[in-house]
Amino acid sequence: MRFDSNRAWQEATALVSANRDVLWALAGVFLVLPSFAVGVLAPPPQPPAGADSNTVVATLSAYYSSAWPWLLGMAVCQVIGTLAMLALYTDRTRPTVAEALKLALHGALPVIAAQLLAGMAFAALAMIPVTLAALTGPKAFATLVVAACLVAFVWVMVRISLVAPVVMVEGERNPVAALRRSWGLTQGNAGRLLLFYALLLIGFGIVILLVGGLADLLLRLALGMELGTALGTLVSAALQAVMAIFFMAVYAATHRQLARPEMTAPAIPIE
């Protein structure tokens, strides 16, 4: 089936509009607050100006070594929150918030396991050409191989982008089977999906950078560096939560469009 990005976007925006009150509550608790807490209690370091790559790597390594409990907790909250949103978008029984969270808890482990399996498999395969290029070829060739691996990584991410809907909508609890199902659903549409996702990511990214940066600057000027920075972090977390809300709706609409015929009818009418 040929993917229709216009239809997917229309359905996604309709899904968000139909569930907006509950979505804001979920996003506030599971996306905004954890991100805000990490931004205030364990903010990422700013490498010194003019630092070389070794210094940057060492700084980031030290940060992740100390901040991983905060980052892990934030990631778990975000997975549960986004899967609960997906349940609200796709479950025709129209679950309550508590029921959506219960469904999300049941689906979280398979989704996380599938992502970890895909990530580890790709890393293991990518290490072979990268290592060979680093050992045997010039630096420019090694850089080219790394760039090719990054492109391949993006392509793989597109192919497995429907794992969460497969788990939450189709009830697939086997991570490997969920990966295969997503791979099959995106067959023949990877290029269209990549373009669609990229346009959305660029659009939301520009809004977040402009609005978040301007809000951070104005808040610092009006309230001082400490309080202004904290509130700027809150604004950025809220903007990122909005992006997550729409992306989960996009995944839901994309899955419904590409899945078996009985799943292609929209959950709500689109004008």
Q: Mind listing the pLDDT tens digit for each residue in 149-167?
A: 999 999 999 999 999 999 9
Per-residue model confidence (pLDDT) at position 269: 38
Residue 107: exposure state from Cβ atoms within 10 A (0-12, 13-18, ≥19):
buried
Nearest to 152 by CA among 173, 182, 121, 131: 121
At residue 50, the pLDDT reads: 67
List % helix, strand, coil for the chain (3-state, nearest 5): 85, 0, 15
Q: Tell me if 257 sits within 8 A of 1, measured CB to CB.
A: yes
Backbone phi, psi, residue 220, to 5°: -65, -40
The predicted-structure confidence for 40-62, as pLDDT tens digits, reads as follows: 888 888 767 666 777 777 888 88
Q: For position 270, what pLDDT does the model report?
A: 37
> How is 142-161 classified by DSSP, letter by letter?
HHHHHHHHHHHHHHHHHHTT
Would you state the pLDDT for residue 266?
42
What per-residue confidence (pLDDT) applies to 160? 96
pTM (two decimals): 0.88
Nearest to 259 by CA among 167, 161, 173, 181: 181
At residue 268, the pLDDT reads 42
Q: What is the pLDDT of residue 61?
A: 85
Residue 271: predicted pLDDT: 35
Query: Along the chain (271 residues), what's the average pLDDT of each consecutive run of 10 residues?
Result: 92 92 91 91 76 76 87 93 94 85 94 95 91 82 90 95 94 95 94 96 94 91 87 92 96 91 44 35
